[in-house]
Structure 1
Amino acid sequence: MAVLLQRPLVAAAACLLLYHMAGVLAVPDPRQREALIQLEASMQTGGQVVLTDAEKGLDALLCKMKQQEMAKADFPPAMHFFKARDLIRTSPIFNLLQKMPKGGALHVHDLSMVDVEWLVKNVTYRPHCYMCFTDKQSIRFVFSSRWPKALPHCSPWTLLENLRAKMINTTDLDNSIMGNMTLFTDQDPEMVYPSQDVVWDKFEQAFLALWGLVTYAPVFRDYYYQGLSEFYVDNIMYLELRALLPEIYELDGSTHDTAWTLKTYREVTRQFTADHPDFFGARIIFTINRGVNASVMAGVVEEAMKLQRDFPDIMAGFDLVGREDKGRPLWYFREALSLPAERGVTLPFFFHAGETDLEGTDVDQNLLDALLFNTSRIGHGFALLRHPVAKDLSRKRGVALEVCPISNQVLKLVSDMRNHPAAALMSENHPLVISSDDPAMFGSSGLSYDFYEAFVGFGGMRSDLGSLKELATNSIRYSSLTSEQKEKALVFWQRRWDKYVSENAF
């Protein structure tokens, strides 16, 4: 008990000293200074975590590594991720973070969870795969048993197996296809993407390029299983996937409805957990693009309520996706979003909100509106520091932010990770989790890269193993799992954590 009370007692002592300091001008007392330092340390994410002796050993190792990392001339969190990625890969801290059991990934999108190289090398080499070139310098795909119908604003279709058969070396073609499916570039990213409009346009075109590949029924199953595999390899035990639940098609052109798509997610999840007993599972957050009108949104919310009723084990809730600055604000959809409450139906919301730097606009009010609609979590919440009322409400209600560091940087909300708003939020232990948003689009994978940016960039020398431990357990505490499932998952995670610490502490 004495060990557990140690940090709270330090904080209490610091508060007492602060009380005596109030209004007094005097020579600074070293004890007061130390008390202030301890008080601030106790307030940060992980500040109340009491480490075991083994954990202290690993913490000391991480601290030494971080000191060396921060002394380097090329400090990865101060650089664009595209330039920093290779440096991060050689970091001993990153190596430890890859091995670390990170809990759950709670903010990941369906069409950007799998390495694009897998899509090109595996999927585009399958029979009956056609490709065309758009007038926006992008590409489209479709699988078909016969010659597909022409698409508007696209060149005539080309059967890829015929095209490759004419080539001596297909590497350049494969690399070109990959380049259309990701934002990652070896060139200067600031030159390639000079503005948010430019990078978002490429972002949206990349999703459209992926669409015809991933929504083909045989690929859809394999793609999702591969996505789970990539997260599993990165020591993630649970996933909440934001999914559009698109219409999935067969080779003959026939299609499946939304319920079929959700059932397929459930079947593949069950298969993956059967194949990997130390994976806890996955759930789906049904999404719709925020560019639709109010009437369409009302119909989608109706569908979401039905899916929530019919598939409570796999369906976690509902969200709006797409570029917040260009889409309609939450308040525009207030009638549709009020339907579940009016009918007494449970439909948890997980709204994207605050993924913007446009202060004072209608879009900038999404944070407050998300809380008005009782969102379970906030996707991104980059603008939260500019909204003291929303910040206070989210803390009091335990509404965690899903912070996606690399996404925020690549999409040009922040350039230096040390200046990310989450650095301030971590200093006061605001409810948050770390996630990766669209890792395949950014040349990333799993969660380790984003954990690196948070641990080294947001936290600086102050964040420690306790910070990492709390961030990992937050991903379970703030998940959509039931209380009983959370308890089971935390026990599950703790076993893996103890093994990780014992293998890496000394």
Structure 2
Amino acid sequence: MQRLTVGETARKRKRSVTPNPLTGEKTMGSTDAQPPNLDEAFTQHLQGTAQQQIYAERKEFLLQEERDSAWDRAARESASEAENRADQLVWEVREDERDNLFGNKASEAIPGPETLDMGGQFLTNKERIEKSQLFRIAQRMPKGCHLHLHFNAELQPEGLIEWARYLPDTMFIRSTQALVNPEDYDVTEIVFNVMPADTPTSDIFSSDYNPEFKAPGSRPWMNWKTFCEEFPRTRSELNAEAWVKEKMVLQEEEVYGMKQTVNGIWARFNQATRAFKGLLNYDEAYRRYIGLAIDSMIRERVMYAELRPMLMDKFIPSVDGQQRYDLRAQMDMILEEVEKKKQELKNKNELDKFPFGVKIIYCTPRSIPKQKMRSEMQDCIELKLKYPELICGFDLVGAEDRPNHIGFYRDELLAFVETCKSLNIEIPFMFHAGETLLDTGGSKEPQNSNLYDSVLLNAKRIGHGYSLPRHPLLMEKFREKPICIELCPISNELLHLCRNVKEHTFPQLLAAGIPCTVNSDNPSLFSSSLSHEFYQVMVGWPTMGVHGWRQLAEWSITFSCLSEPEKDEARRIFKREWEEFCCWIVDKYGH
């Protein structure tokens, strides 16, 4: 058989000119074979095949497997008819507000400057959130227990500032610098304290003002009443109280400003925290604060709370500045005010609203030397021995992107555990851990992450846990033990771990089967509440619903420090209130 050369083969082929469908250019192509009719082929294979059925069955199997292992499965399977109906109605309310209140229907049109994103920046959205039906539903929701709440940050600052008016002789203020130029007001830090009326004073508005307060003979304090009277001469657009409130609460511009940094917002947060302390830490305010904080929690439909006071300062003054109350006296005040509030509720037959009072998690900063940490631990143990039903845990707090990490205190913490065992007492660890983007404990060593030490030291719960998804092995350890995570979404956003709740890692934590609770952390600094937090969780994850809310609230009971009989009673109360809540949703929104 004769073989043709390449050139001969080409000449024998019929040639055709075919326009390129994209460019219109004509190209030469062979017509040796007719191209397949792809439209017919696709039509044939779209007519229902065995492969389509197999694919559908496999997908349903995957979805069912995920549903079977879902974090909220127990809540879904035990839901009442009213709860299922409420879940559907809440979803409809959320979607309606997404389209109308926030005005962000899916569209290619560029939104106007007034259009906000549901689940976007909290402080930017806050005014609209509080007009929404979904937020009203969140306010009405029974929330179980509040497990991560810093002691000085439950009430908004206006009340504390107002109380200071009634201490014209004994409330004092100091500044970290003289208030002379306009920029001084923005950068200075302020601290309050109650002291005897004859305390030597200085003029903070003078260029000669010396802010030094540790040296012998220093006099950085100015009488607060005098400060208020003289303040307008240099800051006329605000009065002193309004200016102080700005110092105590994080503002939208400083949180989301283009030039703000993680370190910058943490420094600002710490300044605000210190401004609160002196306005609260005197006997009359301390007592009043406990009762009002409980009232606030009852309005939020919280039945029990574990508060975190910073107990490094061992004394608080009397209202006249002449006496000092040690840690035992402070614990007595808490117990007395809680009992007084419970008696008020009992007299009104409303004890179920707050039946278990509060407990205290002893907090101390991670920045202190080891010897000081040892004395802090001993103080905690002494308080536990004196108040076994009040002291319920131990925590190390502070920004995690700087020394020291938890492991720095390994020997002291292990000695703490063994000492508690020898005394037959239990003080579980409830560390702040994973509240960071760097996650190396203020070092370059990954093993210094506080999450490893939380596992090794058998923490009962951890605060925040934002960076835990970086550690697949630790995620499994948290699930197995289990270690509960105290979620604080608004705090994490405002302190620059994420830009908004939709970027938060809580869906990953829940999907991994790790138990979580929802908490407000420092609501007075963040202009927030526990209801705002539950709202954020709902709009931050499309598949979150009423069933998920219930699971989070039930976990707050399970991982609280209540006794087992108290937990059983809490579950009984919660179950009744939850069904009432779901029926309320159906009655109000069912039409």
Same fold (TM > 0.5)? yes
Distance 2:584 2:396 in 1: 42
Equivalent position to 2:436, from 327, 340, 356: 356
Equivalent position to 2:304, from 238, 252, 270: 238
User: One-letter code of the match for 1:453?
Assistant: Q
CA apart distance, 1:121: 2.6
Cross-structure match for 1:288:
364
Residue pair 2:231, 2:240 contacting (<8 A) in 1 also = no
Cross-structure match for 1:159:
223
Distance 1:117 1:327, change over 3 A: farther
Distance 2:270 2:254 in 1: 20
Unpaired runs of 5+ residues, structure 2, are 1-49, 105-114, 178-186, 202-209, 214-218, 346-350
Identity of aligned residues (%): 27
Measured against aligned partners, the alpha-carbon deviations of 1:196-244 in whole angstroms (never above 9, x if no partner) come to: 1111111111122122211111111112222222222111111111112
Comparing 296-305 with 397-406, greater Cα deviation is found at 296-305
The reply on whether 1:177 has 2:244 as its aligned counterpart is yes
Cross-structure match for 2:537:
454
Equivalent position to 2:323, from 245, 254, 257: 254
Distance 1:148 1:287 in 2: 31
Kindly report which structure 2 residues correspond to 1:66-465, keeping only aligned pairs within 5 A, or say none: 66-71=94-99, 72-73=103-104, 74=115, 76=117, 78-128=119-169, 129-135=171-177, 136-149=187-200, 152-153=211-212, 157-164=221-228, 172-185=239-252, 187=253, 189-191=255-257, 194-245=260-311, 246=313, 247-250=315-318, 251-276=320-345, 277=351, 278-280=353-355, 281-343=357-419, 344=421, 345=423, 346-360=426-440, 361-362=444-445, 365-445=449-529, 447-457=530-540, 459-460=541-542, 462-465=543-546
Distance 1:78 1:501, change over 3 A: closer
Distance 1:60 1:411 in 2: 34
User: One-letter code of the match for 2:123?
Assistant: F
Q: What SS does the aligned partner of 1:505 have?
A: helix
CA apart distance, 1:133: 2.8
How many residues of Structure 1 are paired with residues of Structure 2 in the alignment? 478
Distance 1:189 1:388, change over 3 A: same
Measured against aligned partners, the alpha-carbon deviations of 1:8-30 in whole angstroms (never above 9, x if no partner) come to: xxxxxxxxxxxxxxxxx944532
User: One-letter code of the match for 2:496?
Assistant: K
Distance 2:445 2:305 in 1: 31
User: One-letter code of the match for 1:402?
Assistant: E
Distance 1:173 1:104 in 2: 37
User: One-letter code of the match for 1:322?
Assistant: G
Residue pair 1:111, 1:210 contacting (<8 A) in 2 also = yes
The reply on whether 1:466 has 2:556 as its aligned counterpart is no
Distance 1:415 1:389 in 2: 27
CA apart distance, 1:279: 0.5
Cross-structure match for 1:502:
583
Distance 1:313 1:204 in 2: 31
Residue pair 1:183, 1:442 contacting (<8 A) in 2 also = yes
Distance 1:60 1:78, change over 3 A: closer
- TM-score of the superposed pair, with normalisation by structure 2: 0.76
Q: What SS does the aligned partner of 1:338 have?
A: helix
Equivalent position to 1:29, from 39, 44, 55: 55
CA apart distance, 1:31: 3.4
RMSD: 2.4
Distance 1:326 1:222 in 2: 36
Higher alpha-carbon Rg: 2
Distance 1:467 1:126, change over 3 A: same
Measured against aligned partners, the alpha-carbon deviations of 1:276-316 in whole angstroms (never above 9, x if no partner) come to: 32203211001111100111111111121121122111111
Distance 1:299 1:144, change over 3 A: closer
CA apart distance, 1:101: 0.6
CA apart distance, 1:347: 2.0
Cross-structure match for 2:70:
44
Cross-structure match for 1:12:
none
Residue pair 1:184, 1:443 contacting (<8 A) in 2 also = no
User: One-letter code of the match for 2:550?
Assistant: K
Measured against aligned partners, the alpha-carbon deviations of 1:298-356 in whole angstroms (never above 9, x if no partner) come to: 11111211211221111111111111212311111011111233232422111111111
Q: What SS does the aligned partner of 2:173 have?
A: strand
Distance 2:241 2:496 in 1: 28
Distance 1:172 1:45 in 2: 50
Whose RCO is larger (CA < 8 A, sep 6+)? 1
Distance 1:438 1:126 in 2: 26
Residue pair 2:67, 2:73 contacting (<8 A) in 1 also = yes
Residue pair 1:43, 1:428 contacting (<8 A) in 2 also = no
Unpaired runs of 5+ residues, structure 1, are 1-24
